[in-house]
């Protein structure tokens, strides 16, 4: 760990992604050649953690893997990118998580097939108070809602900022949202959780549920956010050779956490997160072309900030 640098604890899903690039998705029973493929680490909280580490933040990850070869690969994928995994839980005799993702060109539409293997859900007993020692921000992804909600409550009791990477909606997430300071939700999560069809109305409902800052990511339409004093619409950025948006939302959340740690106002935090997520689109997968701090600042320097 680097002295005098903020520390983030990321807790949640980690997996191994195999991503293939095809010209088109075949009809039922058909075949199509894979032109390019990659195998790399994935998972919402894990990918957000890698984004933070690439941006120079002390980052720790807690999740669960099996004691199989895939679990070893998941662990190595995190340590290789500078994420500390001393508290990663290894479940004996279990089969680790796996995802297969098909990306279609030129549309860049994705189809994802995944399994959690035989990994058990994290429990509150496995997330002890010692994990929060020295932590400035806790990032969770809702994959283990009860345990993460309990940990988020304890974090807030200790004055630690809690960010919820709310990509996928599932019933029973209300307590976790209530213990969150910052929620960054996909558009689909926001609509399903809030029961409204307009992002601006959803922002209000999300903030009424507990968080002081709410952001909704909207893909090619950018993102929209609201805090106590302002609402901000961040348009998308372009680099001219975007290939794949796998993991881009999680990169956005990791980068936003970086900006929040450095006390950036909402608009600048959203622009910073958008720049990082955009740069991650350069190659297949969320991690292969994940940017460092200099790359993000370079893109921001040539991109006018939204009003």
Cα 307 to Cα 227, 234, 271: the distances in Å are 16, 9, 11
Question: Given a cut of 60, is residue 306 above it in pLDDT?
Answer: no
**pLDDT category of residue 192 using cuts at 50, 70 and 90:** very high
pTM: 0.95
**pLDDT category of residue 25 using cuts at 50, 70 and 90:** confident
Cβ–Cβ under 8 Å, residues 183 and 176: no
Domains contained in the chain, CATH given: 7-13+44-89+122-301 (3.40.1190.20)
* Residue 171: burial class (beta carbons within 10 Å; 0-12, 13-18, 19+): exposed
For the chain, the average pLDDT equals 94
Cβ–Cβ under 8 Å, residues 250 and 44: yes
In whole angstroms, give the CA distance from residue 213 to residue 296: 23
Lowest-confidence segment of 18-27, 43-52, 73-82, 114-123 by average pLDDT: 18-27
**pLDDT category of residue 106 using cuts at 50, 70 and 90:** confident
- Hey, CA dihedral for 76, 77, 82, 84, is it positive or negative? negative
Cβ–Cβ under 8 Å, residues 55 and 276: yes
Tokens describing residue 265: 């106002």
Lowest-confidence segment of 130-134, 161-165, 266-270, 301-305 by average pLDDT: 301-305
């Amino acid at each position: 760990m680097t002295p005098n640098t903020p520390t983030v604890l990321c807790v949640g899903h980690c997996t191994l992604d195999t991503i293939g690039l095809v010209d088109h998705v075949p009809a039922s029973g058909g075949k199509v050649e894979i032109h390019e493929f990659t195998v790399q680490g994935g998972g919402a909280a894990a990918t957000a953690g890698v984004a933070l580490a690439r941006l120079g933040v002390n980052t720790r990850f807690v999740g669960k893997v099996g004691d199989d070869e895939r679990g070893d690969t998941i662990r190595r994928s995190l340590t290789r990118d500078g994420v500390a995994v001393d508290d990663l839980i290894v479940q004996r005799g279990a089969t680790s998580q796996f995802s297969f993702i098909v990306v279609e060109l030129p549309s860049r539409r994705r189809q994802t097939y995944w399994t959690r293997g035989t990994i058990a859900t994290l429990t509150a007993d496995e997330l002890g108070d010692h994990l929060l020692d020295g932590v400035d921000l806790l990032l969770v992804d809702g994959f283990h809602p009860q345990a993460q909600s309990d940990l988020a409550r304890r974090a807030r009791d200790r004055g630690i900022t809690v960010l919820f990477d709310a990509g996928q909606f599932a019933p029973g997430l209300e307590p976790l949202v209530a213990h969150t300071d910052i929620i960054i939700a996909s558009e689909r999560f926001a609509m399903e959780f809030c029961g409204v069809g307009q992002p601006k109305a959803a922002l209000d409902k999300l903030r009424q549920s507990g968080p002081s800052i709410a952001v909704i990511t909207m893909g090619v339409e950018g993102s929209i956010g609201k805090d106590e004093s302002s609402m901000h619409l961040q348009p998308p950025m372009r680099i001219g050779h975007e290939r794949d948006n796998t993991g881009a939302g999680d990169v956005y959340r990791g980068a936003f956490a970086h900006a929040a740690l450095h006390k950036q106002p909402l608009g600048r935090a959203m622009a910073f997160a958008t720049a990082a997520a955009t740069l991650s689109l350069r190659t297949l997968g969320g991690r292969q072309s994940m940017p460092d701090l200099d790359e993000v600042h370079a893109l921001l320097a040539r991109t006018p900030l939204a009003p």
